Amino acid sequence: IKDEESGYNKNLFCIPKHYEEDLERVFIPHGLILDRTERLARDIMQDMGSHHIVALCVLKGGYKFFADLLDHIKVLNRNGDKSVPITVDFVRIKSYC
At 9-68, the pLDDT tens digits run: 888 888 889 988 888 888 888 888 899 999 999 999 989 888 899 999 988 778 889 999
Rounded Cα gap, residues 73 and 3, in angstroms: 32
pLDDT band with cut points at 50, 70 and 90 for residue 96: low
Q: Which helix (H) or strand (E) element contains residue 89?
A: strand 86-91
| Per-residue DSSP letter, 52 | P
Give SS3 for 55. strand
What is the reported pTM?
A: 0.73
Q: Which helix (H) or strand (E) element contains residue 14?
A: none
Domains of the chain plus CATH, in order, are 8-92 (3.40.50.2020)
Q: What are the residues facing 25 on neighbouring strands?
A: 9
pLDDT band with cut points at 50, 70 and 90 for residue 92: confident
